[in-house]
Amino acid sequence: MQRGSGPCRLLALSDDEVSVVAHELCDPLRPLLAVNLSSTAMGLRAAMQPALAELRLQRQAAEAFAVLCGKSLAGLRDEMRLFLGEEYYDRTLSLAHWRTLGNLIGCRSLPRLKDLVIRGADNGDEGVALLAAGLRRGGLPSLGGLVLFNTQIGEQGAAALATALTKRSVPALLDLYLGCNQIGDTGLAALAPALRQLPRLKDLYLHCNQIGDRGLALLLAEPMQGTLQSLRILDLEGNQITDSGWLPHRVRWIVEGNENTDSGWLPHHASDVSVRR
């Protein structure tokens, strides 16, 4: 509300309520949103000081993260693809980097991001949990591809990720690449309900994850109606799935569903799914 047009309704809020509003407006890539709000009326600035102090720290962390990404801070908000991890020019992610990435996602600072690729990273479960927290809070509305390859994801990281892979957080997700981690049957048991409700998921890579028959059975459990409707590629190579499990005995490396007489274990709507094992 402009000065002189009447009392500012925000002043009727408690300090705690103002802090919540300020927290939601604190975007490290657009700090003036919160700064300008604090200047709209006498009395708001004091209530917003803790949030503004945190925003300054987040801004500094975002500057360091932009350097890691090889991007300018000004252009980071419009970035469509981020490539991180030890396999990309030694862009090693520290736990602080994971935290900053999660915070930027949580603050909706990366609305145009289509591909997030992390290949080779430590801090496994703890780092992925910070990423998942950001997805739960804000989400990535444009994200089509998420790659977390060789990032040391175990059972706890899988469980954290499962809470974040929702239609609200990643509504446009098409490709999910979780290869070369340690997800196992327990981790896939946590992930399966989330994966089964992603309406647009086309490619799912779970190779080299210590997954056995039990985990695959949970992913493909009945009822399949309305689940994994868009799935076309399921990569399970290098796991511990036996010939007596969910995959038919004659399946070796690839099943082309339309030509395979043993594809009955697949969802009926995914007759052309390619399965790598």
- The structural domains of the chain, ordered by start, are 10-58 (no CATH), 59-276 (3.80.10.10)
pLDDT of residue 271: 42
Q: Give the per-residue pLDDT at 41.
A: 54
Residues 6+ apart with CB under 8 A from 60: none
| Residue type for position 27 | D
Is this model's pTM higher than 0.85 or not?
Answer: no
* Omega within 30 of 0 (cis) for the link into 223: yes
Report yes or no: 123 and 92 within 8 Å, Cβ to Cβ. Answer: no
| pLDDT (0 to 100) of residue 94 | 92
With beta carbons less than 8 A apart as the criterion, state whether 132 and 160 touch.
Answer: yes
Amino acid at 163: T
* CA–CA separation, 141 and 88 (whole Å): 25
| Neighbour tally for 111: CB within 10 Å | 12
Kind of pairing between the strands at 233-235 and 254-256: unpaired
Return d(Cα 94, Cα 122) in angstroms, integer: 8
Task: Give the model's pLDDT for residue 40.
Answer: 60
Q: Which amino acid belongs to residue 152?
A: Q
Give 118's strand partners.
84, 148
**pLDDT value of residue 24:** 58
Per-residue confidence in pLDDT tens, the chain, 277 aa: 344 444 555 555 555 555 545 555 668 777 666 566 656 655 566 666 777 778 788 889 999 999 988 888 888 989 999 999 887 766 788 999 999 999 999 989 999 999 999 999 888 899 999 999 999 999 999 999 999 999 999 999 999 999 999 999 999 999 999 999 999 999 999 999 999 999 899 999 999 999 988 998 888 888 877 788 888 888 888 888 875 445 433 223 333 332 233 334 444 344 455 556 5
